[in-house]
Amino acid sequence: MITQNIDQLHARAGTRELVEVHGTIAHSSCLRCGARYPLPEVRARQADDDRRVPRCDCGEALKPDVVLFGEYLPVDALARAEDLAAGADLMLCIGSSLEVHPVAQLPLITLAAGGKLAILTRGLTPLDGKATVRMGGDIVQDIDALLHALALTATVVTS
């Protein structure tokens, strides 16, 4: 699972292999000394500060470990995402406009490696014409329909 979301929802859902290319709100780090604190501790430090700024033991303000505008994506996360994209037989792009780069290049990596692309999102994307499957309705209903179609295909193949 490759996600641009920072909200921990995929981790909470039990995703075993998760690449968070924009980081996560699960922890914050000190820009001065590099100390890292989990979110509950960051919240406690924020509550204890008169100005409501969570601070490191060294006194520096803590920054959430998320990619902010103008910052680079974590090199390791992007490299892992590219490797997964290159090895995918099928990439499902769910709920994405496919316009935020460099992550928007991942489906192109899958296609270049011979994989297929399924896009499930409302609104147009730049890759709609390259998708084997393109669904633009309600995401939950579209995923249910896709899973049903895959189950039917699996039944036919194994019968």
Considering the domain architecture, whether residues 85 and 154 belong to the same structural domain is answered as: yes
Question: Is the pLDDT reported for residue 159 higher than 70?
Answer: no
pLDDT score at 81: 96
Min mean pLDDT across 25-29, 41-45, 138-142 is at 138-142
Per-residue pLDDT tens over the stretch 65-118: 999 988 999 999 999 999 999 999 999 999 999 998 899 999 999 999 999 999
Considering the domain architecture, whether residues 86 and 154 belong to the same structural domain is answered as: yes
Active-site choice (22, 27, 101, 148): 22
Domain tally, the chain: 2
Annotated catalytic residue 10 = no
We report the CATH number of the domain holding residue 126 as 3.40.50.1220
Considering the domain architecture, whether residues 87 and 142 belong to the same structural domain is answered as: yes
Considering the domain architecture, whether residues 80 and 141 belong to the same structural domain is answered as: yes
Per-residue pLDDT tens over the stretch 103-122: 999 999 999 999 999 999 99
Buried residues in 57-67 as b, exposed as e (16+ CB within 10 A): eeeeebebbbb
Residue 102: is the preceding peptide bond cis (ω within 30°)? yes
For residue 101, how many other CB atoms are within 10 A of its CB?
Answer: 9
Q: Which residue range is the domain that position 99 belongs to?
A: 75-158
Stretch 40-52: mean pLDDT: 96
Considering the domain architecture, whether residues 85 and 148 belong to the same structural domain is answered as: yes
E strand residue ranges, 13-143? 19-20, 23-30, 36-38, 62-66, 90-94, 116-120, 133-135
Per-residue pLDDT tens over the stretch 2-22: 999 999 999 899 999 999 999
- Say if residues 29 and 36 touch (Cβ distance below 8 Å): yes
We report the CATH number of the domain holding residue 12 as 3.30.1600.10
Considering the domain architecture, whether residues 93 and 153 belong to the same structural domain is answered as: yes
Considering the domain architecture, whether residues 50 and 79 belong to the same structural domain is answered as: no
Exposed/middle/buried for 100, CB within 10 Å: 0-12, 13-18, 19+? Answer: exposed
